[in-house]
Amino acid sequence: MKKFLADKSGLRDHAAPAIARIERRLFLRKGLSLGALAMLSGCDVTNDETVDKVLSAMSRWNDSVQAKIFDPNKLAIEYPESAITTPFPFNAYYGEDEIRLVEAESYKLELSGLIRERKPWTLPELYALPQASQVTRHICVEGWSAIGKWSGTPFRTFLERVGADTTAKYVGFKCADDYYTSIDMATALHPQTLLTFRFADQILPPQYGFPMKLRVPTKLGFKNPKHIMAMYVTNTYPGGYWEDQGYNWFSGS
């Protein structure tokens, strides 16, 4: 990213990361450059406010295109257990010394929004749900990927069990470390979207999101919330920690 920024001295600092990210996507996926963007949009790329507006509009348009081409039946690749990456990387918006420790005994998953049965769920209740496993590749926007094994309940099963309005647009998540994110309902209902309680056959260790990580193999890593404390179903766009800083919201992988 730094490399792309080096020769953009006319740009103010805070606009630069968003531009670098989006330009990288354009450049890699569509063969476009910032110069081409300037020509296409007719906007002054040295004016960060205009650039931000154009890029945000493009990103939301990109979301709607991705939602339209998302195939609810297309499966992410599953790997043999021999392909699992060890050690599996830890990542969060903070370092390993700040990993959140959630207490198992007092834990209760909170539900709100367009859900019929909003009673909170304890861990023993969650562990008693039907279980499934997957070995899939987690891809982080920061340029690494790793294969891991996660186990838990198909998210669709959970949403149906609590009487979620599956015609609503979004499912949002609030985490113990103040992280938050949200996904589209089609992805929430995808057969490989798992509410996971185990990593590599062990209860999720704190660094990988105890007590619960939503594993979404059809999306980038930052759309996979760890330490989930609350979830809600809504028609109001909920955004997310990285999404609100310019990362594309849909972010299919």
- Please identify, among the stretches 22-30, 68-76, 127-135, 217-225, the one whose residues bind Mo ion according to the rule CB under 5 A: 217-225
Determine which residue in the list 174, 215, 219, 226 makes contact with ligand MTE, applying CB under 6 A. Answer: 226
Determine which residue in the list 221, 225, 238, 240 makes contact with Mo ion, applying CB under 5 A. Answer: 221
Q: Which residues contact 67 (CB under 8 A, 6 or more apart)?
A: 184, 186, 250
Determine which residue in the list 113, 211, 225, 238 makes contact with ligand MTE, applying CB under 6 A. Answer: 225
Closest CA to 172 of 190, 159, 163, 160: 159
Helix (H) or strand (E) holding 24: helix 16-25
**27, interface contact from Mo ion, ligand MTE, none, CB < 5-8 Å by kind:** none
DSSP-assigned states of every residue in 232-249? EEESS----TTGGGT--S
Does residue 76 contact residue 192 with C-beta atoms inside 8 Å?
A: yes
Does residue 39 contact residue 73 with C-beta atoms inside 8 Å?
A: no
Q: Mask of contacts with ligand MTE, 20-59, x by CB under 6 A?
A: ----------------------------------------
| Residue 175 lies near ligand MTE (rule: CB under 6 A) | yes
Identify residues 97-126 at the interface with ligand MTE (CB under 6 A): none
**Size of interface with Mo ion, in residues (CB under 5 A):** 3
| Residue 38 lies near Mo ion (rule: CB under 5 A) | no
Partners of residue 106 on adjacent β-strands: none
Question: Cβ of residue 195: shortest distance to ligand MTE, in angstroms?
Answer: 14
| Residue 205 lies near ligand MTE (rule: CB under 6 A) | no
Q: Given the complex with ligand MTE, which of 190 and 227 has the nearer CB atom?
A: 227
Greatest C-alpha distance within the chain: 58
CB < 8 Å & 24+ apart, contacts of 90-97: 90/207, 90/208, 91/140, 91/142, 91/221, 92/177, 92/179, 92/226, 93/177, 93/179, 93/241, 93/242, 94/177, 96/207
112-141 burial code (b ≥16 CB/10 A, e <16): ebbbeeeeebebeebeebeeeebbbbbbeb
Q: Given the complex with ligand MTE, which of 153 and 224 has the nearer CB atom?
A: 224
Q: Given the complex with Mo ion, which of 123 and 216 has the nearer CB atom?
A: 216
Angle (CA) 7 12 18, round 5°: 80
**224, interface contact from ligand MTE, Mo ion, none, CB < 5-8 Å by kind:** ligand MTE
Determine which residue in the list 16, 36, 129, 140 makes contact with Mo ion, applying CB under 5 A. Answer: 140
| Residue 222 lies near Mo ion (rule: CB under 5 A) | yes
Q: Given the complex with ligand MTE, which of 208 and 250 has the nearer CB atom?
A: 208
Determine which residue in the list 91, 122, 131, 234 makes contact with ligand MTE, applying CB under 6 A. Answer: 91
Give the footprint of ligand MTE on this chain (CB under 6 A).
89-93, 140, 175, 177, 179, 207-208, 221-222, 224-227
